[in-house]
Structure 1
Amino acid sequence: MTDAPATLRAGAEALAAPLPPLLAAAEHLATTVILGDHGRRRAGLGDDFWQYRPAMPFDDARSIDWRRSARSDAAFVQDKEWQVAQSVVFWVDLAASMSFGSVKGGPTKADRARLLALAATILLIRGGERVGLTGLRLPPRRGTAQIARMADRLAEDAPTDYGQPETEGMLAHSRAVFMSDFMGNMDAAEEALLRAADRDVHGVILQVLDPAEEAFPYDGRTIFESMGGGVTHETLKAGELRARYLDRLAERKDRLAGLARTTGWLYSTHHTGDPAAGALQWLYRGLERRG
């Protein structure tokens, strides 16, 4: 539908309205106050520090440092420390598994993930931060126009059964949000989180689940089918699968919690049957935290 991004943005604006804008990280603010506009050119210190990185496809020509680039065969870009610290990138899983919703007329997992991601984007941009998406699809930028771009990208569906986190284009020392049901390949999720941690990226992991996925309220003859239609399983005694299913779900949650502890990220689960405001509050507080 042509008005889907506008509708999504309107819902996200309503959800974000009661919350104050997200402030810049206390560490960055303290450094800015102490060093002012003329900080020393040392790694990680001050507003004037520049970090060189290889230019990426989304970089403007005017952002390239031609003097530094002339010393090699590659183009380089200068990133100010405060710009990196104020960059937040989202990976929002919009694969087929996220289209599940057990309540007729209720939100799917993808509906809730889109709403939370865009509401968080609104708060971040109101606080002066740069927001974008992983995978080089939408580099971090400021301004209300970026909200519209985020809405456009978040309205798209991914052509896969299960999503896998992307880390390409993620700036070192920035922050990130990974939002998914994490029902796919956990090895891929672990690899992505460890790569992000190696680049000193801190962030939050929000697992979005439907209440039926937590309760497994099935019994008797049941046909289970993946949302993409690639996997089908029929059983006459669905109730007998409940204990095994719940054990595997618990193992998956424990693995995500362990990854969060290892990488210094935060992890939580949100159910689509619960109010979205609570999850947004958790994201808000989690992104304020550094390290």
Structure 2
Amino acid sequence: MPFPLLSPADLHALNDLALVARLIAEGAQAGLHPSRRRGAGLEFSQYRPYQPGDDLRRLDWRLAARSDRYYLRESDVDTRLTVRLLLDASASMNHPDAAGLTKLQYARLLLASLAYVAHRQGDAVGFSALHQAGLQSVPPSADASQLPRLYHALRQLSATGTFPAAGTVAPLLARRGASVTVVVGDLYDLSTADQPVTPLTQLLRQLRAAGGEVLVLHLLARNEYDLDYPTTAQLEDLETGQRLQFDATQRAAYQAQLQSWLRQTEQTVRGFGLYYHRLFTDEPPAQALRTVLRGPARASA
């Protein structure tokens, strides 16, 4: 297996986010968007023949005088984006998979690689973590020292408490220019039939209203999906501390409820007109990144 496709646990063990981000991005071999397009800009790129209706201000009159032909000067137009990375850092993200890697640790690998890709394209990239203590942010920037700042914030981050109240995330909702927002979390705080309006539900709806593209990456550990625990086990809610005794006879009922919740969760996110991806924490991050960057279909709002 190529080195960039090492398991998430192996990549985490390298303990060097800068190296890991580069390896994952190179393994994915993709970009968030075309970085430049042809048009009327500042940096000259090429000539093309004049066509009726073209802007005469872009006509090269000196070339016309020499050749008796009419050409327009084309330039590269900057299409850089602002990429905002949002992480649910509530305590449920501390759930470990069978290899011992938590959702938070997997999210750290994925977000570092997304930041690397965006920065390499010249985009301004920023990071925000959402947890009970509030909003922890690194404002978007495209300068050379931004990646070290982001990597430091990711390394220092811990997952605690519950998802923050709706008012805490207000700074994330300002309407700005071209942007891509990537939300990463386990989505346990999304609305349900019993609790139709939650801070996370409000955030996703408001992010869509604020403009730009929004991608939601739903993280699951394989063991919570399969519930492959011993015949009897005690399960604990990492955010409330509530404990539940489990035995193998409950597995079928759990699976049915889980599949129902997953369908509802995906429908809710897509119903807002957002992109949705379900990722497992045992999936090589380069493979996950490649899937994300392909540009999935999005349901219309």
TM (normalized to structure 2)?
0.68
Aligned to 1:169: 172
- Larger proportion of strand: 2
Pick one of 168, 184, 191 that aligns with 2:189.
Answer: 184
CA distance in structure 2 between the partners assigned to 1:6 and 1:177 by the alignment: 24
Pick one of 262, 265, 273 that aligns with 2:271.
Answer: 262
Q: Which amino acid aligns with 1:169?
A: L
CA distance in structure 2 between the partners assigned to 1:179 and 1:164 by the alignment: 17
Q: Which has the larger radius of gyration?
A: 2
In structure 2, relative to structure 1, the CA distance for the partners of 1:263 and 1:34 (3 Å cut) is farther
Q: Does 1:247 align with 2:247?
A: no
Deviation at 1:5, TM superposition (A): 11
Counterparts of 1:66-77 in structure 2, within 5 Å, are none
Partner-residue secondary structure (3-state), 1:286: coil
Aligned to 2:119: 125
Partner-residue secondary structure (3-state), 1:18: helix
Q: Does 1:272 align with 2:281?
A: yes
The sequence identity of aligned pairs, in percent, is: 22
Aligned to 2:161: 160
CA contact (8 A) 1:167 1:195 kept: no
Q: Which amino acid aligns with 1:7?
A: D
Aligned to 2:58: none
Q: Which amino acid aligns with 1:203?
A: V
Aligned to 1:233: 244
Aligned to 2:47: none
CA distance in structure 2 between the partners assigned to 1:240 and 1:263 by the alignment: 37
Pick one of 200, 210, 220 that aligns with 1:199.
Answer: 210
CA contact (8 A) 2:85 2:111 kept: yes
In structure 2, relative to structure 1, the CA distance for the partners of 1:221 and 1:158 (3 Å cut) is closer
User: How big is each residue's C-alpha offset from its partner over 1:18-61, in whole Å with a ceiling of 9 and x where there is no partner?
Assistant: 344636457xx44xx333249xxxxxxxxxxxxxxxxxxxxxxx
Aligned to 1:140: 140
CA contact (8 A) 2:127 2:137 kept: yes
In structure 2, relative to structure 1, the CA distance for the partners of 1:163 and 1:253 (3 Å cut) is farther
CA contact (8 A) 1:93 1:163 kept: no
Deviation at 1:189, TM superposition (A): 2.5
Q: Which segments of 5 or more consecutive residues in structure 1 lack a partner in the other structure?
A: 39-80
Aligned to 1:100: 95
Q: Does 1:88 align with 2:83?
A: yes
Q: Does 1:110 align with 2:115?
A: no
Q: Which amino acid aligns with 2:254?
A: Y
CA contact (8 A) 2:94 2:159 kept: no
Aligned to 1:282: 291
Number of residue pairs the alignment of both structures matches: 237
Q: Which amino acid aligns with 1:146?
A: Q
In structure 2, relative to structure 1, the CA distance for the partners of 1:9 and 1:206 (3 Å cut) is same
Deviation at 1:200, TM superposition (A): 1.6
CA distance in structure 1 between the partners assigned to 2:199 and 2:240 by the alignment: 22
Deviation at 1:206, TM superposition (A): 0.9
Aligned to 2:150: 150
CA distance in structure 1 between the partners assigned to 2:165 and 2:85 by the alignment: 13
Q: Which amino acid aligns with 1:159?
A: T
Partner-residue secondary structure (3-state), 1:218: coil
Bigger Cα displacement from structure 2, 118-127 vs 193-202: 193-202
Q: Which amino acid aligns with 1:233?
A: L
Q: Does 1:214 align with 2:217?
A: no
Partner-residue secondary structure (3-state), 2:289: helix
CA contact (8 A) 2:164 2:199 kept: no
CA distance in structure 1 between the partners assigned to 2:162 and 2:204 by the alignment: 21
RMSD: 3.2
In structure 2, relative to structure 1, the CA distance for the partners of 1:210 and 1:101 (3 Å cut) is same
In structure 2, relative to structure 1, the CA distance for the partners of 1:5 and 1:118 (3 Å cut) is farther
CA distance in structure 2 between the partners assigned to 1:167 and 1:215 by the alignment: 37
In structure 2, relative to structure 1, the CA distance for the partners of 1:164 and 1:128 (3 Å cut) is farther
TM (normalized to structure 1)?
0.70
User: How big is each residue's C-alpha offset from its partner over 1:114-173, in whole Å with a ceiling of 9 and x where there is no partner?
Assistant: 000010100110011111024571111113411111112222113214578946334445
In structure 2, relative to structure 1, the CA distance for the partners of 1:193 and 1:178 (3 Å cut) is same
Q: Which segments of 5 or more consecutive residues in structure 2 lack a partner in the other structure?
A: 1-12, 44-76, 129-134, 192-197
Aligned to 1:65: none
